[in-house]
Amino acid sequence: MQLGSNDFKERASQDSVAIARCDQSENTLIQLDSMLSPNKFSSKYFFIGLTATGNYTAATAMHMLGYRAAHFPTSLAWILDFDVLTDTPVAFWFRLGLLPLDATFVLTVREIESWLEACQVWFESRPLSTLDPFTQQVRWYLYGGLTFERERFINCYWNHLEQARKLAQKYGLNLVEWNLVENPQWDFLCNLTLQDVPSQPFPFKFDKQYKRGTWQGVLNTTP
């Protein structure tokens, strides 16, 4: 089944959980060009890395470059209003085939041992009682469970990279990989977006994001 523009507009206004459940059996990438609201930038950037790979930093940096960026979006409708989306919901939708074909996809990666340590800290710091149904669904899909388990996370990490690369090859997507934690500099994003390097330091926030109490946040710039 291929989703049309009217179908997407109607369904994007619904809760993301319902959308994802409805489309789990599908793996169809859809075009949304004619539906996107007129933003300052014509390009869309989706950061599809897993937890603890620098997604919050990426959202902050793209915001500083002038893009409307949202971290941990909770509805597909956010695609219409933002230039940049980051974090695991975006990875989730990418794997389900629910994101625009003509966007740029950034797969943030990280050395596996330090990634496991960071994931353990984050997952064990947040009580399961605080997880809403959508967050639970994202965790189950990407990590095979709600809690941290080392061997399972190792398998899920490599599987996510493999699936992302396969989808990119199959559909001819513009997929780039970035080890942000090892290279927290402006060079990668400025080369990717063709924007000038800002005078401000690169906003490397990796060590701080686990103390925030929540991953959700919106960074909005006025075009």
Rg (CA), the chain: 17
- Does the pLDDT value for residue 221 go beyond 90? no
pLDDT 10s digits, 3-25 = 333 333 343 334 333 333 333 33
- Does the pLDDT value for residue 26 go beyond 70? no
Closest of 94, 96, 116 to residue 105, by C-alpha: 94
pLDDT in the model for residue 206: 55
- State the chain's mean pLDDT as an integer: 82
Sequence length of the chain is 223
Closest of 91, 69, 64, 66 to residue 79, by C-alpha: 69
What mean pLDDT comes out for the span 52-60?
Answer: 96
Please state, in angstroms and rounded to a whole number, the distance separating the CA atoms of residues 76 and 74. 7
Whole-prediction pTM: 0.79
pLDDT 10s digits, 144-199 = 999 999 999 999 999 999 999 999 999 999 999 999 999 999 999 999 999 999 99
Under 8 Å between Cβ of 106 and 56: no
Residue 30 is classified by DSSP as: B
> What's the Cα-to-Cα distance from 33 to each of 38, 40, 139, 202, 219, rounded to whole Å?
10, 15, 29, 31, 23
> What's the Cα-to-Cα distance from 158 to each of 32, 143, 196, rounded to whole Å?
29, 11, 34
The domains of the chain, with CATH numbers, are 48-219 (3.40.50.300)
